[in-house]
Amino acid sequence: MNRLLAVARLHLMVPARAFGLPWGIVTLAWALSVALFASFGDNGDVVIVGGLFSLYVILFLSAEQAVTRTLSFALALGATRRAFYLGTCGFLAAQALAAGAVLAVLRAVERGTGGWGTRLSFFDVPYLVGGNPVQAAAAYAASLALVCAAGLAAGSVTRRWGTVGTSVLSAAAIVVPGVAVWWISAAGGLAPLGNWLAGQPAFALRTLWPLGFATVLAAIGWTAVRRTPA
């Protein structure tokens, strides 16, 4: 447990990078959006801005860097790959949970203030989140976890198999679903699949599925990391 905590503390060593960067950028994007919307005056419509996307991008990148840069330093300090990966997953999960809670609060404030008084929907992204704040927090956390897991997988694959590996993984990420869709539609299963998906409770779609994919991606990352050279 101590070893895993040490890894987590390693990731938190430079707070400006761990917190400052992601939240700083989100704050900036939000402030710009609010200013922009305030200058438009009354729209009559509530328009959604994809500003929260920046948070997801940054967390993806830091998860990737955790493997491409921090791993080699941790190994030099004597951490095992196992401890590093587990500790990093734990850290990213905790980070996703905490961020999810913060975002849920901000979303509640946004809804309560009528979009920050400008009818801006920055945090309240409809398909991503919904329901009460607890459900929203879970959905945020799940999607953030998915993005972090993708970063871990990308970083691990790059570290182990270089750009060739990453290209293969990216190609697979496009080809595999594409083939699956083609195969399902050829079997005439697209419509039933669509109906089944539409019938899934929102909670499953927003929270459980992303978590499922996140776990798969994290596992892919581990297979790459466990034999990676220092």
Partner 1 sequence: MNGPSDPARPSPLDVEGVTHRFGGVLALDGVAFRLDEPGIHGLLGRNGAGKTTLLQILAGQLRPGAGRVEIFGHDPFERAGTQAQLCLVREGQRYPDGFRVHHVLRAAALFFPHWDAGYAARLAADFELPPRRAVTKLSRGMLSAVGVVVGLASRAPLTLFDEPYLGLDAVARQHFYDQLLADVAAHPRTILLSTHLIDEIADLLQHVVVIDHGRVILRADADDLRREAVALTGPADDVEAVVGNLLGTGPGTALARERLGGVARVTVRVGGTAPVLPPGSAVRVEPVSLQRLVVHLTSSPAAPRDGATAAGGAPADADAGTTTTPQGALR
Taking alpha carbons only, the member of 98, 94, 70, 79 closest to residue 4 is: 79
| CB of 2 or CB of 132, closer to partner 1 | 2
Question: What 3 state SS string does the chain have?
Answer: CHHHHHHHHHHCCCHHHHHHHHHHHHHHHHHHHHHHHHHHCCCCCCEECHHHHHHHHHHHHHHHHHHHHHHHHHHHCCCCHHHHHHHHHHHHHHHHHHHHHHHHHHHHHHHHCCHHHHHEECCCCCCCCCCCHHHHHHHHHHHHHHHHHHHHHHHHHHHHHHHHHHHHHHHHHHHHHHHHHHHHHHCCCHHHHHHHHHHCCHHHHHHHHHHHHHHHHHHHHHHHHCCCCC
- CB-wise, 9 or 216, nearer to partner 1? 9
Residue closer to partner 1 by CB (options 21, 208) is: 21
Binding stretches for partner 1 (CB under 8 A):
3, 6, 9-10, 13-14, 16-17, 65, 69-70, 72-83, 229-230
How crowded is the C-beta side of 65, counted as CA atoms within 13 Å? 10
Q: Taking the complex as a whole, how short is the minimal distance between the CB of residue 230 and partner 1, in angstroms?
A: 4
Residue number with CB closer to partner 1 (40 or 73):
73
Minimum distance, C-beta of residue 213 to partner 1, in the bound complex (Å): 27
Q: Decide whether 72 or 215 has the Cβ nearer to partner 1.
A: 72
CB of 228 to partner 1, least distance (A): 10
Give the shortest CB-59-to-partner 1 separation in angstroms: 14
Query: At its nearest, how many Å lie between partner 1 and the CB of residue 161?
Result: 16
Residue closer to partner 1, measured from CB, 79 or 142: 79
What is the C-alpha to C-alpha distance for residues 154 and 163, in angstroms, rounded to an integer?
Answer: 10
Q: Which is nearer to partner 1, 16 or 186 (CB)?
A: 16
Q: How far is the CB of 173 from partner 1 (least distance, A)?
A: 26
Closest CA to 37 of 50, 46, 25, 27: 46
Work out how close the CB of 79 gets to partner 1 at its nearest, in angstroms, rounded to a whole number: 6
